[in-house]
Structure 1
Amino acid sequence: MTLFEKEKIVFIGAGSMAESIIKGLLKNEILPPGQIWATNHSDDIKLNKLKTDYSIEATRDYNELFENATMIILAVKPKDVRESIDAIRSYITNDQLIISIIAGVSIDFFAEHLPDKMPIIRTMPNTSAAVGYSATAIAKGSYTTDEHLIKAKELFSAIGTVTTVEEDELHTVTGISGSGPAYLYYLAEAMEEKAIEFGLPQGTARHLIIQTFLGAAEMMNRTEESPRKLRQQVTSPKGTTEAGIQALEDHHLKRAIHECISAAVHRSRELEELYKPSTKNN
């Protein structure tokens, strides 16, 4: 018997992150499409596309949707979370596992609005889930068992790597890996613009930048050397790399990166305040 043989997984929300997870589950044969169900509030086009593209089940009949459901993945936008929870609350029981991929909404919030002693796991994937390279962090609530955690890790392993953290650490995770892909795209954007200005064709610049990012990531992955040490190893005295690094230091790039991450972490905490529960009972 496989880990998910008797599971019925229900996605509340049918956006890009839900699709990435569904795609990963099917590609890695974690479970068959007939055990995956999805719904959303009103977007028929997205819901029908999921059903057509992946042969999963899709419905807005909540009796059918939640019948024998074992795992419920909350994948709506933060602004829609209250309405979504109100709509499904009466169909939820505490023998099911709730997994949230909603940014900024705490376990305590869900615990307050769902049945008592509800197993809840909060996660922070990133958009690289679309290509199977998400860096996902997960945090568990008080009533989450080891078996629940194992299943969640297996599920998110289908779209990348999984790291277990304390819930409060998810704010920092958001600032590092949750928003991180956008920081790297921003750097790539700047590199590509300058390469084109110096005369490289856009396609050539893009290829070189992508391969440079991939190579640097693989170097960090394969060695125990720190990023600082790796940088120093390729920075020859009086060379081109040293000249480039000096320009970055002259423009205080490291300080800007620190402030960038701090701003993202601060905003994550602000968002959580918007969904602060009146009590703590997870």
Structure 2
Amino acid sequence: MTILTETGIATMRICFFGAGSMAEAIARGLIHEKLVDPAKISMLNRSNEARLAELHERYGVTTVLQGSSNDTYLQEADIIFLAMKPKDAAGAISEIAPLLHTKQLIVSVIAGLSIASMEKLLGGDQPIVRTMPNTSSTIGLGATGISYSSKVTPQQRLISEAMFQSIGITAVVEEPLQDSVTGVSGSGPAYVYFVMEAMLKAAEELGLEPDMAKELVVQTVLGAAQMVKQTGESPEELRRKVTSPNGTTQAAIETMTEAGLPEAIVKGMKRSSERAAEIGAVIERSIAE
């Protein structure tokens, strides 16, 4: 924590442009880990005052309802999170660009928006951090891919990683790999939920009551993930250990393999990564027009 204190993060003002669930998750992490006082965090949106009132009441963050304007919060911030929807990103960033200065650190959580596109919209001189968190960040168990522009300093890197480590783990990657991060961890929670849905359906078809089925499935998934984490063994090794020759697990795995489950998962993850690139291309075209 000494190194973090030396970065001065506790004295910095942080502004979230966009006040959705991901912005809330990050703000909550910063507050919970005591990296920043809530009063130094401002959260902005276009018009939803009820949402702003809720965030102020829940966390003690500031909003336009506490007196200052969006413009003032943006101008006074040391760190600005771009957390608007991808379809609104180009227009919104262009609007706020004249308010910003080059000493501010820009952190994007917008899927598909490249550093080059942000530099074009902002003028090219700002330090920019591109990130890809996932929804598990809302409970402090997120996984976030992080990439940096050439203007980001070592101190700003330390600050960026500390902020996202407050909501889970981080992986620093070269920017072209951000689409891969999207395919693996960005969309990843949904894959697990999808498998859980199928397990719940099967459990009910096997005669278990819905509540009991849910409890068993949730604990099974939780336990399996913790086994991988705590033992350090690979999923393949752990699977082999519980797959007795000619036993029940082997019968299930063989049936799932014959049905194409492994290939379907790989194809789906690759398609997610491709789709991230497509979304980015649409945003870049809108900027070029």
Aligning the two structures, in what range does the TM-score lie when normalised by the shorter sequence?
over 0.9
Give the alignment's TM-score, normalised by structure 2: 0.93
Instruction: Give the 3-state SS of the residue equivalent to 1:10 in structure 2.
Output: strand
Tell me which amino acid in the other structure corresponds to 1:160: G
Give the alignment's TM-score, normalised by structure 1: 0.95
Q: 1:224 Cα deviation (Å)?
A: 3.4
Q: Distance in 1 between matches of 2:121 and 2:75?
A: 20
Which is richer in helix?
2
Q: 1:98 Cα deviation (Å)?
A: 0.2
Match for residue 53 of structure 1? 58
Map 1:104-183 → 2, pairs under 5 A: 104-183=112-191
Task: Give the root-mean-square deviation of aligned CA atoms.
Answer: 1.8
Tell me which amino acid in the other structure corresponds to 1:21: I
Matched, 1:40 2:40: no
Q: Is the alpha carbon distance of 1:256 and 1:18 closer, same or farther for their aligned partners in structure 2, counting shifts above 3 Å? A: same
Matched, 1:250 2:255: no
193-202 vs 92-101, which moves further: 193-202
Map 1:1-282 → 2, pairs under 5 A: 2=5, 3-59=8-64, 61-276=69-284
Q: 1:233 Cα deviation (Å)?
A: 1.2
Tell me which amino acid in the other structure corresponds to 1:19: E
Q: Distance in 1 between matches of 2:44 and 2:91?
A: 14
Q: Answer whether contact 2:11 2:36 (CA < 8 A) is retained.
A: no
46-55 vs 258-267, which moves further: 46-55
% of aligned pairs identical?
Answer: 39
Instruction: Give the 3-state SS of the residue equivalent to 1:73 in structure 2.
Output: strand
Q: Distance in 2 between matches of 1:220 and 1:163?
A: 18
Q: 1:66 Cα deviation (Å)?
A: 2.5
Q: Is the alpha carbon distance of 1:134 and 1:119 closer, same or farther for their aligned partners in structure 2, counting shifts above 3 Å? A: same
Q: 1:278 Cα deviation (Å)?
A: 10
**For structure 1, which runs of at least 5 residues remain unmatched after alignment?**
none
Instruction: Give the 3-state SS of the residue equivalent to 1:181 in structure 2.
Output: helix
Matched residues, number: 280
Instruction: Give the 3-state SS of the residue equivalent to 2:94 in structure 1.
Output: helix
Q: Answer whether contact 2:94 2:122 (CA < 8 A) is retained.
A: no
